[in-house]
A = this chain, B = another copy of it.
Amino acid sequence: MNDDFRSAAHAAAELVADYLDGVPGRPVWQPMDPAERAALLEWELPEDGVGLEELLKAVGERIMPHPMGNGSSRFFGWVNSSPQPAGVLATLAASAMNPSSAGGDHADVHLERAMVRWIAELVGFPHPAGGGILTSGTSMATIVCLATARNRAARNAGRDVREDGLAGLPPLVGYVTGEAHSCVRKAAELLGLGSKHLRVVPTDADGHLLLDGLERAIAEDRAAGRLPFLVVASAGTVGTGAVDPFEPIADLAAREGLWFHVDGAYGAFGILDETIRHRYAGMDRADSLALDPHKWLGVPVDCGCALVRDAEELRGAFSLVPSYLRDDAAGDLGWFSEYGTEQTRPFRSLKVWASIAHRGRTGVARDIAHCTAQARRLGEWVEQDPELELLAPVETSIVAFRYRPQGVAEETVQQLNSRLPVAIQLRGQVFVTGAVYQGREILRACLLNASTTDADVRLLLDEVKSAGAELLAGLRTSN
């Protein structure tokens, strides 16, 4: 069987190299033919097995022609990056070894400790031993961090949540802005806190948390007998990439005894760009920071990371060692499975290591700076174009804009921009997604790919205008 495996592994190497070579020449994305979609959805569980060669053939013919599109330098949708080639190779080795990085004395466990430290070093966050863990993504990292925050707050109110639960406790209240990622609300719901106890505090015009609004909300909640415990700030909001003012939030959190959590999923690594580094002042004062190496670092999906200032608090929120997992040799830090929700854990650290080490700190920083510079350029081009409108300052590498040809009524502009993302995607040249920002339908381009060129960015704007003009003509004809 191993000879089979060896030749199949070489065939797989060719398959993925061909795939990656082909990305620039293909449409970014195209909808699947209904028959091909149905063939996948209705694929029958085979009674008998098929050889490795045949399986790879099926991957090449039925799967690889239908990617999400985020491998392309012309993919500007959501916050999905192209994978680092070194990280791709690492996934092969990681799955061949197939350890559980729960704990024990094998390479993956020790490498994960080092990689959590590397990530903390990259974003300038303090890293006590044990103060972090790789997760499936920031959604999970947020659950880990907020569970830790919740448990500390309840303990301060005389309650052991792990033992006693939340029933009978006054509501614990957290504070977010309207720009916070939905994973914060999902975490609050999962943790039994209730989304109505996640209060939305006001922002300034560009989406930054306003301190006086936060203070007022805290005072109201205290007066009503609720227990304020958490404030969440963003190191790059979903809609516009805005970075919240960390220093004053940290001051307030310290004064009010709140847990200060930073959602750095997409944006935390922006700190590596010297030109925008100043925006991140105070991020290192957070109690916890959640971020996604599978976004701006290009680590193949999935890889998030939770960094927590107080490692003991983190371990205390999750440690539970049944007899069959007892490991007398585990050392002071114990097992990773004591620091989060998972027992069996994949070997994520190898792809993190490869993705960072292939470029080194300088290479990673250069890639990040490339993206922010290009986003600023895109922002400038939008501002210079009378048919386009920039809707927020470009703080990191997200550009929020819309198509607004002159002399067109606001209602029609809304209609156009709500339809534009799909229309553009179908053309297959570039991929951009939409959002609603401050009541407006917008286009939202996120630049994460260091191989994206000026020409790619220009093409994005050309496509927006060309697809927009087509849509507009269609609307006028149908009216």
Contact = CB atoms under 8 A, between A and B. Distances in A.
Interface string A182-213: 11011111111111110000000000000000
A129 B64 CA distance: 25
A87 B106 CA distance: 22
Interface string A34-56: 00010011110111111110011
Contact of A68 (B47, B70, B79, B99): B99
Given A91-B92, A106-B67, A107-B62, A167 B168 contact: yes
* Residue in A8, A21, A98, A359 with the greatest tally of chain B CB atoms within 10 Å: A98
Contact of A48 (B13, B65, B342, B363): B363
A27 interface: no
A277 B100 CA distance: 29
A465 interface: no
Interface residues of A, number: 160
B83 A95 contact: yes
Contacts of A5: 17, 20, 85, 89
B190 A59 contact: no
A346 interface: yes
A477 interface: no
Contacts of A106: 29, 32, 66-69
A2 B16 contact: no
Contact of A96 (B88, B95, B186): B88
* Residue in A48, A62, A162, A197 with the greatest tally of chain B CB atoms within 10 Å: A162
Contacts of A166: 165-167, 192-194
B110 A37 contact: yes
Contact of A292 (B19, B121, B344): B344
A238 B17 contact: no
Contact of A91 (B6, B29, B91, B118): B91
Contacts of A50: 357-358, 360
Contact of A433 (B40, B66, B163, B324): B324
Interface string A160-178: 0111111111111000000
A323 B436 contact: yes
16 contacts: A49-B358, A63-B97, A71-B96, A88-B98, A95-B301, A147-B190, A161-B192, A167-B167, A167-B170, A167-B197, A186-B318, A186-B341, A191-B191, A191-B192, A323-B437, A324-B433
Given A168-B171, A295-B344, 10 more contacts: A32-B107, A45-B356, A47-B361, A48-B363, A59-B354, A71-B97, A136-B302, A137-B345, A191-B191, A324-B444
